[in-house]
């Protein structure tokens, strides 16, 4: 039964990754998306750190009051997963759970450099592919992931 739930979640996340693709992505877009995540986190009275990297450059970073330098470590590790696999960190966690294998052993990577916890999501451009990553840290992995999905969905619905 557990594998069926994981499979369903994987299918949902895969659809999110396929649908949440940008026509273009500017630094100004990163600012707008980052600020929208901050506003949403304030509404639910939670503290998060947000990081957006585009073409290897950090174009947005903000740590709300109540976060710590630990969030920066989580951001770096979750981002590494997305940049390596071009899938969200939550997708990679569930994918490896479904396969019943250790991510770290299978991909020969260190837990000092990679974290397969939800909260990092690829920034993809139509016809180009993944050009960056957005990462949220501070909530549960599911909530971190959902904050990004909500922000991307809202932004893309507004601009299309």
**pLDDT higher at 2 or 137:** 137
pLDDT above 90 coverage of the chain, percent:
96
The average pLDDT across 153-157 equals 96
pLDDT above 70 coverage of the chain, percent:
99
pLDDT digit string, tens, across residues 67-106 = 999 999 999 999 999 999 999 999 999 999 999 999 999 9
DSSP result, the chain: -HHHHHHHHHHHHHHHHHH--BS---HHHHHHHHHHHHHHHHHTT---EEEEEETTEEEEEEE-TT--HHHHHHHHHHHHHHHHHSS-HHHHHHHHHHTTS-HHHHTT--TTT----S-EEEEEETTTEEEEEEEEESS-HHHHHHHHHHHHHHHHHHH-
Predicted local confidence at residue 160, as pLDDT? 57
Average pLDDT along the chain: 96
Predicted local confidence at residue 3, as pLDDT? 77
Predicted local confidence at residue 158, as pLDDT? 84
Please tell me whether the overall predicted TM-score, pTM, comes out greater than 0.75 for this model. yes
């Amino acid at each position: 039964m557990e594998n069926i739930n994981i499979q369903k979640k994987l299918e949902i996340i895969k659809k999110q990754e396929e649908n949440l693709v940008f026509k273009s992505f500017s630094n100004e877009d990163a600012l707008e998306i980052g600020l929208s995540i901050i506003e949403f986190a304030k509404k639910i009275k939670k503290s998060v750190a947000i990081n957006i990297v585009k073409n290897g450059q950090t174009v947005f970073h903000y740590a709300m009051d109540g976060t710590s330098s630990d969030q920066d470590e989580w951001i770096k590790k979750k981002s590494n997963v997305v940049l390596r696999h071009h899938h969200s960190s939550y997708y990679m966690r569930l994918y490896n759970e479904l396969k019943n294998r250790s991510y770290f052993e299978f991909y020969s990577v260190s837990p000092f450099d990679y974290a397969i916890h939800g909260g990092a999501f690829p920034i993809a451009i139509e016809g180009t592919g993944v050009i960056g990553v957005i990462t949220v840290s501070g909530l549960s992995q599911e909530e971190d992931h959902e904050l990004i999905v909500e922000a991307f969905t809202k932004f893309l619905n507004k601009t299309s």
